[in-house]
Structure 1
Amino acid sequence: MAGFPLHHPKGRELTGGDLLAQSLKHLGVEVAFGLHGGHLDAFLMGCEDIGIRLVDTRHETVAVQAAEGYCRISTKPGVCFVTANSGFSNGLPGLATAYGDRSPILCITSSPPIRDTENNSLQGSIDQVVAARPITKFAHRVVSPEECPRIVSHALRVAQAGPPGPVLLDFPIDVLFSPIQPKLIAWGSVTSPPSFPPGPHVAAIDAAARLLGAAKRPVIITGTGARSPQARQQLFKLAEGCGIPVFNTSKYTSFSPSSPMLSTRTAGMLAILSLVKLPRPDLVVLLGARTGMFLGGRSGAIIPGQDCKLIQVDCDGSEIGRSLPIDLGIVSDVEAFLSAVNERLNSRHIKNIDKSWVQSVLGLAAMESPYEKEPEVTSSGRLHPYHAVKSLVSGIEPGSIVILDGGEASAWVGDLASRCQPHTVMTATGYLGFLGNGFGYSLGCAVAVPDRKVVNIQGDGSAGFHLMELDTYKRFNLNIVTVVVNNSSWGMSSNGQDLVYGTDHPARPISALSSATEYDVVAKGLQNTATRVSRIAEIRNTVARFQAQPGPSCINLIVDRKPVHPITTAMVGLTDNPNLVVVPYYDNIPRAFYKL
């Protein structure tokens, strides 16, 4: 089978590294994130020759997470590279988060020459393929340079097919540096058109239509599986045509395109329906949204457990019914499902929906926060986190991409982020609860869509993981504003300890951070525009001013760790029931013996 025309570099032989780079370029790869290692030089030179942009970071974890941020905002696969063993080991956290959050990325690594296997060679102690397999969809060592096109195209198909996820290819250094024999090249599917995603069965669409037609109080909840522009267009065609309210999950909140049926708050708002005396949904349609931590677990707080039908659409059949009983499970690409439903349904078929209930549910987003009337400055003399974050959000340019990282810091911002009319809000911690991801996500987003401003919001705890990436932001002059919401503590940890053990208990193990740390001074040293802000009146204008200028900047925003954010209280799950054991951040469990 014919492949693509080979590009022969000037002044040297065509190597495996060149063929690898050219295979990626042919498959649509435009950028790769990584950190240098001599094992990869043949590949890096190949990227330079063929026109793949190389973005180097200060840590391999960030490189992998930048590839993930890139693919999330662009819907293209993200590509990263890490050097043998040491770089690979640093990249493992990024692979783990991509695997947990189903992000299609390709990680390229290298290793010692094949002949030096098990020879105590430099950077050769770990079998990288074996180590990567539990946290990737596919991991493989390429032992012939001529196999690059076949294996690379296969790996990218695996990354994007079905439930997406990370893949890893290990190229021993001799494979990358060896000259190519063109007659031996295995092209595989490198020139084949992309595969079509799975679509729903006709009977499944009929069943979905019946459930939608019978519902009085339906809601749609979307996850990352519904993030493509095509899926969003079909989503709002259905929602607006039938009058069904739409909620994003807090993990990935897209506001593009806008729609009158899209709530500006996340699905967590459904948990307060009973408190405001509104009936709960009688039908929930999950579109590419997994049950679990972002949808209230098995508590029934967000998705009612009784008197409510549940339709779950996912490209991964193993996710359907994983933790909640379902009435209709459909293994399908979300766009394909929505297209089929839109062909089957229109407003004439949807006659039972309670329109006043729908408007009341959408109106919940306008409810005043209980913190609105509290003082802007707490008794400690620091800013109230709600008021500080409210002013922060009010200064963000509409259409920005907002990345949330940290515990309570991201929760405070998540409640208010829609006020700035963002393009997208991403919660970087994901299913692993992994702090520090926001630096890589922000980098990937800024490279993928340079015409949009990026706001990287960190707690002071999460900021400590990868603050050196401000240097990366400056080297590439990216329009990223990093905000450190600084309460001098691991806020969710210390407040969780307060809730469980009481404020009178003196011990607060390892939950404090230094109030003397000057994140703005560090940022200035890394050539970012930066300042420390401790007054409400300064916040909005500072954010607007920093976003208006080119290049990266940093704001050290001083706030109090009190009051406790409601999400911490909810996750700790205190109860007066003496026969339950409180297990913070999970469902409480029955006591092994009953207290009388």
Structure 2
Amino acid sequence: MTDRPLGAQISHMLRARGVEVIFGIPGVHNVEMYRGIETAGITHVLARHEQGAGFMADGYARASGKPGVCYLITGPGLCNAMTALGQAYSDSAPVLAISSCLDEADARRGQLHQMRDQRAAAETVCDWSAEARSPEAAYALIDRAFSEFATARPRPKHLQVPIALAGRNAPPAPARPAASGLPQVSHGDLSMAITRILAAKKPLFVFGGGARAGAGAVPDILRQTGAASFVTYAGRGIVPPGTPLFFGSTLARPDSAQVAAEADLVIAIGTELSEVDLWRDHLGHDCPTIRVDIDAEVLAACGAGDMPLLGDAGAFLRAMAVAIPARVEDRAPCWDAAEVDRTRARWRAEIDAERPGILPVADALRAVMPEDAMIYSDMTQFAYAVKEVWDMPRPGHWHHPYGFGTLGYALPAAIGGAVARRGKPTVAILGDYGFQYTVQELGTAVELGLPLPILIWDNAKLGEIEAAMIASQIAPNAVVARNPDFLALARAYGAGAKEPETLSALQQALLAAFDAPGPTVIRMTRALAG
């Protein structure tokens, strides 16, 4: 326990708080942050762009359940990562970005990497952004970030450390403070909620990503209450495939509003029911709602007659599954199971017609995808179609840039996920245009020797934007770009490259990529569907 430069002390502190991996790019301004990484026993992953480092930290956090950390330089380094931090904020990923900053930015102009207000810029995409002006402040802010990750809705935080301060000797960080947990719904509120649910004739559950920790209790709850259910995109896997009365992740279907209108009670667990969940202003119900969430802002949307419950959705579900059998036996549902099945089949046909050629390819991939595979997708037509019909066998195993909706997410996020899950299957799915946003991170995947299948849906255009223009009666323009030879590009980086011509060959290529010594780019086109 000796004095070291503050930059080194921060790395040692992070290791003591459980951080094993940091993503980033060193520079002259943040070099002191790198003094202590190896001696602290932390692995550093060298990204090719700060945006990639931010996405990797996001992907690592989603895969591991632990905070993802990235080191950034002053000015452009932080700015480059702000897109990734905005995505982490939108999707509730616990990312801690630590950057250098100028010692003084007001009295002097023309300094390297200078911004007018770097801290305020980061605050626009983070939960908070703060500057540490002493070692004690740096330690306190790091512990504040980790405490908030564990006790509230996890969202990115930014800490900046002045260059000179990072190089000055500082005492070690204090011991880790006692941990606390998420807020809990009271026993009284739990009892009242169960009473209302059991009194409903046609209860409808909507499970969001915030309910993942209670997924094991969901089948029992649905059986006990006779309820129908939806999941949001982020909640896929919470309701197991084949569960009776399960409408899937199809809330974006316009006439799902008619289903919601049939319910006499909606129970929304761990979901905002936001625009990117529904693609309309309202779920469609006119009955009371029980909402369970750890974010008070979400609960503020409740109206008269609704029941907002601030607390951990996972613990709430587990408690329900124990408490309900003590009151009643399983209830016969009032929902029509055959009608649910017909509705899902009709919606699948709609999706297939809207984006032809995608679902047969997705079905072939799903048939051979390992059950424990973790999938990261990008903003691409392939993902838009598939996330409505691919029922995941496990929760928290398909990650997508839902809210912020940035291109370029999938590849670096999948790298972060693969680093967190060494030895387990991880997949990236992206479009030809989005791949080019962060293609340089292929070098990182090769460098790390990650057996990562990278599935590129290549329609040689911005297909979704072209469709939107046509729907708006706009002559399509600026939607076709010259693509590189993706397979040659992959080989140039040292990655594998495949272009299967049949669905069977695609399946073989995917399985082979899981056993490869490095990443494999697999190009897919509509021709695969025949």
Q: Work out which of the residue numbers 454, 463, 468 in structure 1 matches 2:440.
A: 468
Q: Work out which of the residue numbers 477, 502, 506 in structure 2 matches 1:509.
A: 477
Q: Secondary structure at the match of 2:284?
A: coil
| Offset from partner CA, 1:40-63 (integer Å, 9 cap, x none) | 222222111111111111111121
Q: Work out which of the residue numbers 484, 499, 508 in structure 1 matches 2:471.
A: 499
| Offset from partner CA, 1:87-127 (integer Å, 9 cap, x none) | 11101111111122222211000023359963432223343
Contact 2:210 / 2:235 at 8 angstroms: preserved in 1?
no
Distance 1:510 1:312 in 2: 43
Give, as a single letter, the amino acid of the residue that structure 1 aligns with 2:514.
Q
Q: 1:326 to 1:393 in 2, by over 3 A?
A: farther
Give, as a single letter, the amino acid of the residue that structure 2 aligns with 1:86.
P
| Offset from partner CA, 1:182-212 (integer Å, 9 cap, x none) | 3xx673xx52221121111344223211221
Paired position in structure 2 for 1:281: 263
Q: Work out which of the residue numbers 218, 222, 226 in structure 1 matches 2:211.
A: 226
Which segment is superposed worse, 190-199 or 349-358? 349-358
Q: Work out which of the residue numbers 447, 450, 466 in structure 1 matches 2:419.
A: 447
Give, as a single letter, the amino acid of the residue that structure 2 aligns with 1:292.
S
Which segment is superposed worse, 390-399 or 208-217? 390-399
| Larger RCO: 1 or 2 (CA < 8 Å, sep 6+) | 2
Map residues 485-496 of structure 1 onto 2, 5 A cutoff.
Answer: 485-496=457-468
Q: Work out which of the residue numbers 161, 185, 189 in structure 2 matches 1:204.
A: 189
Q: 1:278 to 1:33 in 2, by over 3 A?
A: closer
Contact 1:113 / 1:172 at 8 angstroms: preserved in 2?
yes
Shift of 1:422: 6.2
Distance 1:75 1:161 in 2: 14
Distance 2:292 2:395 in 1: 24
Give, as a single letter, the amino acid of the residue that structure 1 aligns with 2:278.
G
| Offset from partner CA, 1:190-237 (integer Å, 9 cap, x none) | 522211211113442232112211122223222221223xx3234445
Contact 1:137 / 1:166 at 8 angstroms: preserved in 2?
yes
Q: 1:216 to 1:124 in 2, by over 3 A?
A: same
Map residues 53-202 of structure 1 onto 2, 5 A cutoff.
Answer: 53-114=43-104, 118-180=108-170, 182=171, 187=174, 190-202=175-187
* Structure whose CA Rg is larger: 1
Contact 1:68 / 1:98 at 8 angstroms: preserved in 2?
yes
For the pair 1:16 / 2:6, whether they are aligned, the reply is yes
Distance 2:193 2:154 in 1: 25
Shift of 1:83: 0.9
For the pair 1:266 / 2:249, whether they are aligned, the reply is yes
For the pair 1:328 / 2:307, whether they are aligned, the reply is yes
| Offset from partner CA, 1:113-146 (integer Å, 9 cap, x none) | 3599634322233432121122222211112234
Distance 1:68 1:193 in 2: 26
Give, as a single letter, the amino acid of the residue that structure 2 aligns with 1:37.
G
Length, aligned pairs only: 529
Map residues 234-273 of structure 1 onto 2, 5 A cutoff.
Answer: 234-254=217-237, 260=243, 263=246, 265-268=248-251
Paired position in structure 1 for 2:498: 531
Shift of 1:513: 2.7
Distance 2:113 2:491 in 1: 35
Paired position in structure 1 for 2:289: 310
Paired position in structure 2 for 1:38: 28
Map residues 42-53 of structure 1 onto 2, 5 A cutoff.
Answer: 42-53=32-43
Shift of 1:396: 2.5
Shift of 1:389: 3.1
Contact 1:162 / 1:315 at 8 angstroms: preserved in 2?
yes
For the pair 1:319 / 2:290, whether they are aligned, the reply is no
Q: 1:528 to 1:457 in 2, by over 3 A?
A: same
Which segment is superposed worse, 541-550 or 464-473? 541-550
Give, as a single letter, the amino acid of the residue that structure 2 aligns with 1:519.
F
For the pair 1:29 / 2:19, whether they are aligned, the reply is yes
Contact 1:313 / 1:330 at 8 angstroms: preserved in 2?
yes
Give, as a single letter, the amino acid of the residue that structure 2 aligns with 1:354.
P
Paired position in structure 1 for 2:367: 394
For the pair 1:553 / 2:528, whether they are aligned, the reply is no
Shift of 1:314: 0.8
Contact 2:451 / 2:518 at 8 angstroms: preserved in 1?
yes
Q: Secondary structure at the match of 1:38?
A: coil
Shift of 1:560: 7.0
Q: Secondary structure at the match of 1:164?
A: coil
Contact 1:292 / 1:323 at 8 angstroms: preserved in 2?
no
Distance 1:47 1:257 in 2: 42
TM-score by length of 1: 0.80
Q: 1:78 to 1:245 in 2, by over 3 A?
A: farther
Q: 1:424 to 1:215 in 2, by over 3 A?
A: same
Distance 1:285 1:298 in 2: 19
Which segment is superposed worse, 340-349 or 454-463? 340-349
- Unaligned regions of 5+ residues in structure 1, if any? 1-5, 563-596
Paired position in structure 2 for 1:370: 349
Contact 2:261 / 2:285 at 8 angstroms: preserved in 1?
no
Shift of 1:343: 4.6
TM-score by length of 2: 0.89
Shift of 1:534: 4.3
Shift of 1:548: 3.2
Distance 1:490 1:561 in 2: 19
- Unaligned regions of 5+ residues in structure 2, if any? none
Give, as a single letter, the amino acid of the residue that structure 2 aligns with 1:438.
A
Give, as a single letter, the amino acid of the residue that structure 2 aligns with 1:512.
V
Distance 2:494 2:304 in 1: 53
Distance 1:560 1:547 in 2: 24
